[in-house]
Amino acid sequence: MVTGGASGLGAATVRALAAEGACVTVFDLNEKGAEETAAAVGGRAVAGDVTVPEDCQRAVDDAAAAGPLRVVVNCAGMATAGRVIDRDGSPHDLAAFERVQRVNVVGTFNVMTRAAAAMARTDPVEDGERGVIINTASVAAFDGQIGQLAYSASKGAIVAMTLPAARDLSVVGIRVLAIAPGIFDTPLVGFLSEAQRQALAESTLFPKRLGQPVDFGRLAVAMARNSYLNAEVVRLDGGIRMPPR
């Protein structure tokens, strides 16, 4: 199951998992996008909101009905910009801060907990493994830039959940990992001008380009395949270290 699978990193992960033979359930707020992505790989689509526990349960139930749930990749997420105090001295808007935590942190929590419960009921395979949950953080968890207060807080939470979740789920043979992407060419960064994209590509160590969604999908598959990889956050960023602005 892939959340946020209608677009960007999630859609690439759907394609990468399907190419390995997985039957993928695409869970996204964007119903049309989810259906299109799923149809292209013979997968299943569930429209819903990761902040709504019942929607998450419906998606997990759908995925588990298709076969044992083994791989869950949480890509649903959003970004916002805002400083601690704005240019005119007014404090960061609380509603905007809370919204990002709701989607990125509570959404990941909702899916992870419900998916883990379903995975725990499956028969184990090799080494007693039942599956893997891969959450999406960001380099903003470590190199938060000016204006990324809320987003960095949400991605820091994803990083911080990795170890305790892996510890909790070790008893049922479920691994927990996180990917911290650098700058990827998806609709999420559609606001960047061509000049900004060029500058970001230039500030990447190597290769000097933005990340492509396919790079992310490949890592998700590699993580799923390697059962000794656990409780780890992997930066996927071409070596970029984000400056203050």
Helix residue spans in 8-51 (DSSP H): 8-19, 31-40
Minimal distance in Å, beta carbon 19 to ligand NAD? 18
148 in contact with ligand NAD (CB under 6 A): no
Torsion on CA atoms 140, 145, 150, 151, rounded to nearest 10 = -30
How far apart, in whole angstroms, are the C-alpha atoms of residue 28 and residue 183? 22
* φ, ψ of residue 233 in degrees (nearest 5): -110, 120
Q: Contact region for ligand NAD (CB under 6 A) — 29-37, 124-132, 196-204, 226-234?
A: 29-37
How far apart, in whole angstroms, are the C-alpha atoms of residue 141 and residue 181? 10
Site size toward ligand NAD (CB under 6 A) is 30
Minimal distance in Å, beta carbon 29 to ligand NAD? 4
Half-sphere exposure of 129 (CA within 13 A, CB side): 17
138 in contact with ligand NAD (CB under 6 A): yes
Q: In the set 186, 220, 221, 230, which binds ligand NAD (CB under 6 A)?
A: 186
Q: Contact region for ligand NAD (CB under 6 A) — 14-22, 59-67, 71-79, 142-150?
A: 71-79
Catalytic status, residue 228:
no
Q: Which of 189, 203, 196, 192 has its CA nearest to residue 241?
A: 203
- One of 109, 151, 184, 216 is an active-site residue; which one? 151
Instruction: Find the distance separating the first CA and the last CA of the chain, reported in whole Å.
Output: 35
How far apart, in whole angstroms, are the C-alpha atoms of residue 195 and residue 123? 52
Residues 37-56 as x/- pattern, contact with ligand NAD by CB under 6 A: ------------xxx-----
Residues 193-232 as x/- pattern, contact with ligand NAD by CB under 6 A: ----------------------------------------
144 in contact with ligand NAD (CB under 6 A): no
Quote the tokens at residue 163.
């170890």
Q: Contact region for ligand NAD (CB under 6 A) — 80-88, 93-101, 141-149, 183-191?
A: 183-191
153 in contact with ligand NAD (CB under 6 A): no
Annotated catalytic residues are 151
